[in-house]
Amino acid sequence: MNKKTVKYGIIGCGVISDWHARAISEIENAEFLGVTDVVEAARKSFAEKYGVKAYDTVDALVADPELDTVCICTPSGLHAPLAIRAANAGKHIVVEKPMAITETEIKDVLDACEKRNVKMSVVSQLRFTRAVSETKKAVDDGALGKIVIADLSMKYFRSQEYYDKGGWRGTWKMDGGGALMNQGIHGIDIMQYIMGPVKSVSAFTRTLARKIEVEDTAVAILEFENGALGKIVGTTSVYPGSARRLEICGDRGMITLEENKITCWEVEGRDLPEDLKDKGSSSGTHNDPTSFDISGHVMQLTDMTDAIISGRMPAINQFDGKKPVEIILAIYESAETGKTVML
Ligand SMILES: NC(=O)c1ccc[n+]([C@@H]2O[C@H](COP(=O)([O-])OP(=O)(O)OC[C@H]3O[C@@H](n4cnc5c(N)ncnc54)[C@H](O)[C@@H]3O)[C@@H](O)[C@H]2O)c1
């Protein structure tokens, strides 16, 4: 692409769209053109706040020839259909997690992006943190020796009001799942990014404390292709909740990540880099869904902007974005059938 500026539009003017709008505004080679939302008041006030166009419909937004890229910030059940509409209009796509909520949708999104030769970046902002990249590097370099266990704990608190207010939250059709498909997907993505492919899952899910269709609690046992075993504990129903904790343990060392802070680094022959000592924050979204800054979205959208300008694949593309969804869908299948599911 022989262009110096990438022009963005946003679909959906709710909570997360502000992170996208502010991130785009911070990127030198990016320009924020406009927004749309099914709710007229929402699109108008958001457009006014950022001084951009308010398109009346999704079709009007994706038809704008000036626009290069669309950020999809709607309820999760609309991600795939809107991504396909954007791709068919020849627009590149930044889609919030999860990229899609069924296997069929994943395939349709992959096909649409390939057919129209458009790029997709699937939001998983934590991957851009130094804490995650240093942990991955230590594992990839073999610094922890043979990896034995990966232990992921996500004990969150979301009130009944949180589910009731959103309307779409906690429904199969629009959320695609609960504690794992909505909140837990961040931790599951980091876990599989560091550990590599999952071979099989055995799981239980329950709806224990909230009046919702989907699970508010899940436990899964995993087998990774590298031979290690893993455990995922995810819930949105414990008060007051605690920071997401991922522990990667090998026969020569172990690392613990609490949110985006490394709280344990016991690695034979490799010190924790100076700039990570006492850095990062172990407070997170476990009891406040908006308690995170825009730095991750800035890095992800900077990567997408650069990918479009230089013609390369984005760092977290559709092939990466589908992996945590496939693990979560396998967990749901195992919980439903009572059988171990192979991926
Ligand atoms: N990356 C993160 O850390 C993070 C954090 C929060 C939410 N999310 C994801 O972002 C997405 C949105 O979450 P949210 O909390 O902002 O939801 P929200 O309910 O606050 O906002 C969704 C907006 O989409 C609009 N909308 C609904 N249908 C539409 C349509 N057909 N066309 C245009 N607009 C439509 C709604 O009117 C609403 O304004 C979810 O998929 C969620 O998983 C990601």
SS3 (DSSP) at 342: strand
Structural contact between residues 211 and 220, judged by C-beta atoms closer than 8 angstroms = no
Nearby residues of 285 by Cβ (< 8 Å), 6 or more positions away? 156, 183, 291, 292
Q: Check for a shared fold between 6-125+295-317 and 126-286+324-342.
A: no
Would the pLDDT of 289 be above 80?
A: no
The model's confidence at residue 291, banded by pLDDT at 50, 70 and 90, is: confident
Q: Work out the average pLDDT over 183-199.
A: 98
CATH topology of domain 6-125+295-317: Rossmann fold (3.40.50)
Q: C-alpha angle 296/301/32, rounded to 5°?
A: 120
Helices (H), the chain: 17-26, 40-50, 58-62, 79-88, 103-116, 130-140, 160-166, 172-175, 185-195, 295-310, 318-337
Query: How remote is the CA of residue 79 from the centroid of ligand 1, in Å?
Result: 9
Query: How remote is the CA of residue 14 from the centroid of ligand 1, in Å?
Result: 5
pLDDT digits (tens, 9 = 90+) for 86-140: 999 999 999 999 999 999 999 999 999 999 999 999 999 999 999 999 999 999 9
Would the pLDDT of 282 be above 80?
A: no
Q: Which of 43, 44, 73, 183 to mutate to test the pocket of ligand 1 (most atoms within 8 A of CB)?
A: 73
pLDDT of residue 279: 67
Structural contact between residues 329 and 209, judged by C-beta atoms closer than 8 angstroms = no
Would the pLDDT of 222 be above 70?
A: yes
Q: Which residues line ligand 1 (CB under 6 A)?
A: 11-16, 36-39, 42, 58, 73-76, 78, 96-97, 123, 125, 166, 182, 289
The model's confidence at residue 280, banded by pLDDT at 50, 70 and 90, is: low
Q: Is residue 221 packed enough to be buried (19+ CB in 10 Å), middle (13-18) or exposed (0-12)?
A: middle
| Distances from the Cα of 100 to the Cα of 95, 187, 319, 330, 336, angstroms | 9, 17, 12, 14, 20
pLDDT of residue 293: 84
Would the pLDDT of 300 be above 90?
A: yes
pLDDT of residue 277: 82
Pairing mode of beta strands 217-224, 341-342: unpaired
pLDDT of residue 3: 62
Q: Which of 10, 13, 16 to mutate to test the pocket of ligand 1 (most atoms within 8 A of CB)?
A: 16
Question: Where do we find the tokens 């016991």?
Answer: 266
Domain 126-286+324-342 -> CATH class: alpha beta
Average pLDDT, the chain: 95
The region that residue 338 occupies, defined by phi over 0 for left and psi between -120 and 50 for alpha, beta otherwise, is left
Query: How remote is the CA of residue 91 from the centroid of ligand 1, in Å?
Result: 19
Choose among 29, 25, 22, 27: nearest CA to 5: 29
The CB density around residue 33, as the number of other CB atoms within 10 Å, is 18
Question: Higher-confidence residue: 276 or 286?
Answer: 276
Q: Which residues pair with 92 in a beta bridge?
A: 69
* Domain boundary assignment for the chain: 6-125+295-317, 126-286+324-342
Query: How remote is the CA of residue 199 from the centroid of ligand 1, in Å?
Result: 32
pLDDT digits (tens, 9 = 90+) for 232-263: 999 999 999 999 999 999 999 999 999 989 99
Q: Which of 22, 37, 46, 122 to mutate to test the pocket of ligand 1 (most atoms within 8 A of CB)?
A: 37
Closest CA to ligand 1's atom 38? 14
SS3 (DSSP) at 185: helix
Query: How remote is the CA of residue 148 from the centroid of ligand 1, in Å?
Result: 38
* CB-facing half-sphere around the CA of 99: CA atoms within 13 A: 29
Secondary structure (DSSP) of 240-282: S----EEEEEETTEEEEEETTEEEEEEETT-PPPGGGTT-S-S
Query: How remote is the CA of residue 188 from the centroid of ligand 1, in Å?
Result: 20
Cα(124)–Cα(127) distance, rounded to whole angstroms?
6
**CA pseudo-torsion sign 191, 197, 202, 206:** positive
The model's confidence at residue 2, banded by pLDDT at 50, 70 and 90, is: very low
